Structures are given as structure tokens and as C-alpha cells.
Structure 1
Amino acid sequence: MMTRRNWRRSLVPLLVLALMIGPTLTGCSYKRYVQDSTYDYGTKQKGDPKMLGSRMYGAMSSNPYQHDNNWVEYSSLLSTDISNINGVAGALVFLSDKNAYVGMTLDWTATGTRKSGGPGTMEQDNTGSNEGVFNVDNGSPFWNNQRIAGPYNSYFTVNDHNEISSELKQTIAIHVRRIAPTVQEVHISANQEFVNHLVQYAQEAWAGRSLTPWYDSFNKLVKHQFEGGNDVPAPINVQKLKAAGHLGSQ
């Protein structure tokens, strides 16, 4: 059992350490400490450690077939790792023979996750939680469990992936490449439609089902999101209904 004398002796080094660190985390030094951390993706100070080195995300080549993936798999390890980054509410990460694809929602655990815009640019209306409903416009209490993001009472999305902070994307890409160093490109989006599509691919993997039948659909999805492709595949649940003959061919 620790005596009072031993307790005081063990406390002395902690007090000394606090006195040494304290002055460095006050005033301007503390402000810079926060700006350099992953709690701030918007200040963009010169020498910010989050942006040192070359760009690690986005298109790295002019290969017109970069998103023609030959295989795709869901990465539970990377999804968990990226979800733990400050500013990220949750992430789904998929690896292919060429790339890593990150679909995510955002929260308020960090500033500057979006490049520009104030409250008026927010894509979510979360006021319904104060009134005990899900959809504040029609009073509905129901949520579509096939979606992880929506316009009401949801974590935050960003329609254009180019509007996500470069510091946040760099931070995510570094995490991805640390775990999966062979990926050629890391593509990141917080687009609502994109993440809601990805959750259905993830559900297939969680259920132990192969993603092989969905490779073409997945490639069409990422081309639409990151290449400006015109075609958006139907969600997997809709494709399954069509295959079973429960929906028309439209």
C-alpha cells in the first residue's frame, strides 16, 4: 500500500513535468499546438506537420483506367482506424487492386473539416431531435436503416469531395498508406449518396458474402464520384429486387 510519503514522492516528478510543459502550451504556443494538431484542419499554418511531404490523396496519374478495379474488398481494419481520426464520425474503407476508397461522415470533433462555408452550407437539419422526431419537415419518427447519412438528424456530409479540407484528406491518406502501403491512389469522399451506397457493399462483406458480383457496380460508383461519370448504379438492395423480378427493368 502506498504511504503518504511515497505518494508525495511520486507526485514531485509530475509537478516538475507540468511546470516544464505548462509555459509551452500557453498563449501563442498553445494556439499553434492546437493548429498543428488533428483538431484543426482549417488554419493551414506554414510548417503544419499534417501537410509536410508530398500529397498522398487523390489522382496521382493520368491513367484513364485507374478506377477499372479487378477486385474490391472491404477493410474492417482501415474503416476502424479512419473512424478514430478527429473530425470523422464514421468511415467505410474499401481496397482494390489499385486504390483505396474512403466514404465518411463528419462531426464537430475538429474544426475546418470543410474548406469553406458557414451554417448555411450545412446539408443536414438536426433540429428534429429537439422535437422528438426524425424528419422535422413532416414529423416522421422513422429512419431508413439502409442509409448511414441523410438530410435529417445525421452526421454531416459534404456533397463535393473537393470541398473537404486538404489537411483532413492528407491525414486520412497517411493513415491508409501506413496500413496499406501498396495502394496507388487514395480517394476520399463525404458525399451522402456515395456513403449510402458504400454501406450496402459493406453489409455484403459483414454478412460474409462475396463482393465479386458487384465489381462492375462498384466501379461505376467510384467513376461517378471521382471522375465525374454520368452513370450512378442502383443501390444493391434495388439491384437484388430487380434480379429477383420484383421490380421493372427501368
Structure 2
Amino acid sequence: MNKWINSKASIRLLALALIAVVGLAGCNYEQRVQNSTYDYGSKKKGDPKMLGGRMYGAMSSNPNQHDNLWIEYSTHLSTVVSNINGIAAGMVFLTDKNAYVGMTMDWTATGTRKTGGRKAKEQNNTGAKEGVYNVDTGSPYWNNQRFAGPYNSYMTVNDHNEISSELKQTIAVQIRKLAPAVQEVHISANMEFVNQLVQYAQEARMGRSLTPWVDSFNTLVKHQFAGGDYVPEPLHIQKRRGQARLENGGKTTP
């Protein structure tokens, strides 16, 4: 009898030990996910994504921080950012002072947006099920001048302050590893900002200098990150106006 009781007790202890191990494994798995770049929303204490000081956004009160002297498109950094979980596509521009990131986001990570959840989505992708681009009008046509849009598009976030701080920190850490001279890293998923940056990237990919567009670029980033009042026209419109002026002997055309 005592032998049976002891055996039963041993089995019970073994079962409890197994339950504890499974529970611990479950906790460890959950913690690993929260600490990984698949989760930017949990903000648990000790999350390695947020260790150390903030690496993104304004670092000084310099009013001329966005008066850049030159700009260049970084193919390598753009690829690095695009490969981060939660990001569909990223573009990185370097200047004599800063790094600027424009991006769209996908569904490969949670918590990429701080608040709002699905109700705050700026994209309506239901048209894809019906074989149309614009589900409201039934139009199958896409504006080829735009990279991101309100229909059948990867996610954008109008206010860059609504992007998860963990995601922005992850991006900034990667950029600073590869470009340590950068003073500030500014990040946005604003739809208009992204669409304009795509055109600068296209210029660079075609081997064209971005020097003629430095002032326009500065105006764009000031509007996005420093409360600037003016949004420059997209690059293709600026180029068209410039060509028209040349054809009219330098006269401005409407």
C-alpha cells in the first residue's frame, strides 16, 4: 500500500513538474515574441527594442536642423529598413545632418501603430476581392504617380507621432549602426510624404543628381517634421513646370 502511495505521489509530482515546464515554456515563448520585431505594441519592461536612449526624432532645438546642404538616396539602408518586420517598403535618404525614412507598413508585425487599431486604418483593401482598385467607384485604375493610396495599398499613417515608438527605435538603431555620423533620424509613413519621396528615389535610381531638388526636399521634410506650412508640389510637376519655363524662354507658366 505504501509502495502504491509513494508511486502515486511520484507520478503526481512528475505531472506537476511537466505542467510547470509547459507553463514556463509558454511564458518564455510569449516573452520572446514580445521582445522580437514581430511585436511593437506590448512595451514590456526589459524589451531589448527599447533599451538605451531614444535614437529617433529631434535631438536638439536647432531651428536649422532641416536646412540640409545635400541629399542622397541610400539603396543599402532602404533595403535594411524594408527587411524589418512590419515594414512593407522603406526609403532612406541621407543628408549632411540627418536620415529621413519614408515607409509603408504591412501585417508582418503587431502594434506598428500606437492607437486606433483596425478602425484607424487609412486603406480600404476590400476592392481586391471584387477585382477593382477603388471599391467606392468601381474603378480598376491605379494612379501610377502614387506609391501608396487609400485603396488596395500597404498601410500608411497620417501622423508620424502615431507610429509605434518601438518600431521607430528599431529603425533608428539599424540606421545609426550603418551611418553613425547621422545627427537625427526622422521617420514617417504619411501617404503624401511617401509618395513624394518615391519620386526622389526614382531620380536617384536613374542616375540623376538630387542637387537641383535640395530646397524642395528641405521644404518637404520641414512640413512633415517641423511644422512647416508649405508642401511642395510633387517632383514630376516641378520638372514639368521647369521644362515649360525653358520652352517659354524662362517665363513662369501657370
Q: TM-score, normalised by structure 2?
A: 0.87
- Per-residue CA distance 1:137-194 (angstroms, 9 max, x = gap): 1111111122110000000000000000000000000000011010000000000000
Partner of 1:202: 201
Partner of 1:75: 74
- Per-residue CA distance 1:91-131 (angstroms, 9 max, x = gap): 01000000000000000100000000022210000000000
The answer as to whether partners of 1:24 and 1:30 remain within 8 angstroms in 2 is no
Q: Point out where structure 2 has 5 or more consecutive residues left out of the alignment.
A: 1-20
**Alignment of 1:112 onto 2:147:** no
- Per-residue CA distance 1:74-94 (angstroms, 9 max, x = gap): 000000000000000000100
Partner of 1:88: 87
Change in CA separation of 1:29 and 1:234 when aligned onto 2, cut-off 3 Å: same
Cα separation, 2, equivalents of 1:90 and 1:81:
10
Cα separation, 1, equivalents of 2:236 and 2:81:
26
The answer as to whether partners of 1:83 and 1:90 remain within 8 angstroms in 2 is yes
Q: Which amino acid aligns with 2:77?
A: L
1:3-152 equivalence runs, <5 A: 26-152=25-151
Q: Which amino acid aligns with 1:38?
A: T
Cα separation, 1, equivalents of 2:207 and 2:23:
51
SS at the partner of 1:110? coil
SS at the partner of 2:33? helix
**Aligned-pair distance for 1:30?**
0.8
Cα separation, 1, equivalents of 2:73 and 2:83:
17
Cα separation, 1, equivalents of 2:117 and 2:74:
33
Cα separation, 2, equivalents of 1:214 and 1:42:
37
Q: Which amino acid aligns with 2:153?
A: S
**Alignment of 1:179 onto 2:184:** no
Cα separation, 1, equivalents of 2:98 and 2:253:
32
**Aligned-pair distance for 1:26?**
2.5
Partner of 1:8: none
Q: CA RMSD in A?
A: 1.6
Give the greater-gyration-radius structure (CA).
Answer: 2
Q: Point out where structure 1 has 5 or more consecutive residues left out of the alignment.
A: 1-21
Cα separation, 1, equivalents of 2:81 and 2:242:
34
Q: Which amino acid aligns with 1:26?
A: A
**Alignment of 1:164 onto 2:198:** no
Deviates more, 1:30-39 or 1:136-145: 136-145
Number of paired residues? 229
SS at the partner of 2:145? coil
Q: Share of identical aligned residues, percent?
A: 71
Partner of 1:221: 220
Cα separation, 2, equivalents of 1:73 and 1:42:
32
The answer as to whether partners of 1:146 and 1:199 remain within 8 angstroms in 2 is no
SS at the partner of 2:128? helix
The answer as to whether partners of 1:25 and 1:33 remain within 8 angstroms in 2 is no
Cα separation, 1, equivalents of 2:24 and 2:124:
37
Cα separation, 2, equivalents of 1:140 and 1:190:
25
Deviates more, 1:23-32 or 1:110-119: 23-32
Q: TM-score, normalised by structure 1?
A: 0.89
Q: Which amino acid aligns with 1:236?
A: L
Q: Which amino acid aligns with 1:122?
A: K
SS at the partner of 2:244? coil
SS at the partner of 1:245? helix
Partner of 1:4: none
**Aligned-pair distance for 1:241?**
1.3
